[in-house]
Structure 1
Amino acid sequence: MVISIGPYHPGNPELELIQQHKHTMACQYEYGNSKLLEELYRNVKRLAKDARECYTHQSSVAKFNEEEFTHMMVLDACFILQFIYL
């Protein structure tokens, strides 16, 4: 199974199923504590500019505005943390 983490494969139809799982796992991660996801989002948003600069292929992050990039990073982070937890 291939999982896209970060901005390298947006919109790839072959990876669409895993995108749906990311949403499910993000909900599982924050289950019962909606403030956790809000706090994570605020923290990621604060660091989003620096995070964008870590990608060597700037064209891959240029496709996303700040809000979309932050949302993607939070979703991926929740997915990874929930995957590890399970």
Structure 2
Amino acid sequence: MAQYPPIDYLKGWAPIETHTDEEWEAIAQQTIDESRVPDGDVDSMALALKASAAREQQLRSDFVAGWGAIEAEAFAMNAAYSAGMGGGS
């Protein structure tokens, strides 16, 4: 069976932001400052930003796992067909 390089399913996608809690709080503060909402809740905004990044990471993990499973199934079907078990031999 031919060996192919691994597929980069996320090629061209921007990386997911990862920050320390302090960095998330600074980003939240900046977001609130730029929104001009004087009583914005920095802790809630930081929590929302972290949760959003975590959801994006999970979605990407699920996406890669799904495509990996499809690829593995395709290789298995190809191997079975090549071994004469494809029904056409």
Same fold (TM over 0.5): no
Higher relative contact order (CA 8 A, sep 6+): 1
Provide the TM-score with structure 2 as the length reference. 0.36
- The structure where helix makes up a greater share of residues is 1
TM-score scaled to structure 1, two decimals? 0.37
